[in-house]
Amino acid sequence: IDTGDYIHVRNVIISGELDRGNDEGATFTGPNDPAKVARIDRANPFEGSTNIEVNDGDYVTIENLTLTGANAGLWVHNGSDAFTLGRMTVTDNTGFGIRLENSGTSTLADVTATNNGGDGIVLTGGSGLTTLDRIVATGNSGTGVSVSSSGAVVIDTITVTGNAGTGVSVSANGGSIDAYIVNN
């Protein structure tokens, strides 16, 4: 996805379910140069609008993008496994920024959730190993980062500031926490 601003008139759905499309096993990437931005604006802040939804989409990588202007920035759910998110900014959505529900192994690295109308980043019900590395959550109207997982969770660095709710909440079955920087 080249540098620029893109307005989407429909939700982007990535799924391995045949009735939703067969888009799993794919990589979606914006510019590799951090000075350049590919911004996807859903231009629909109302309930039901999502910038990107991964619904039972395995082996999906999304990186180097900015998601804005939806009710939900990024929603990964329904058993999506081997999901990778890298160098992403999810900002100014009226609901949550990023939500991973009942997903398998997931990696989030260099991810920023800012100024969303709900929680910044939520991981719930995951069954595989979830890795959070270099996460920033600022100015969200809910919790900055919330992790409630039945799988193992590895957290390397999370920075949270200015969120209306709790800065970081973690409840996991196993794993480790290397560093927190909390100033909520």
Rg over alpha carbons for the chain, rounded to the nearest Å, is 15
User: In angstroms, rounded to a whole number, what is the distance separating the alpha carbons of residues 97 and 113?
Assistant: 6
The tens digit of pLDDT for each residue in 11-39 reads 999 988 777 666 678 899 999 998 999 99
Strands (E), 22-126: 27-29, 38-41, 50-55, 61-63, 66-68, 72-77, 83-91, 98-101, 106-114, 121-124
The tens digit of pLDDT for each residue in 87-130 reads 999 999 999 999 999 878 889 999 999 999 999 999 988 777 88
The tens digit of pLDDT for each residue in 118-156 reads 999 999 887 778 888 999 999 999 999 998 877 778 888
pLDDT band at 177 (very low <50, low <70, confident <90, very high): low
pTM above 0.95, yes or no: no
Q: Which residues of 22-49 are buried (b: 16+ CB within 10 A; e: fewer)?
A: ebbeeebebbeeeeeebbbbbebeeeeb
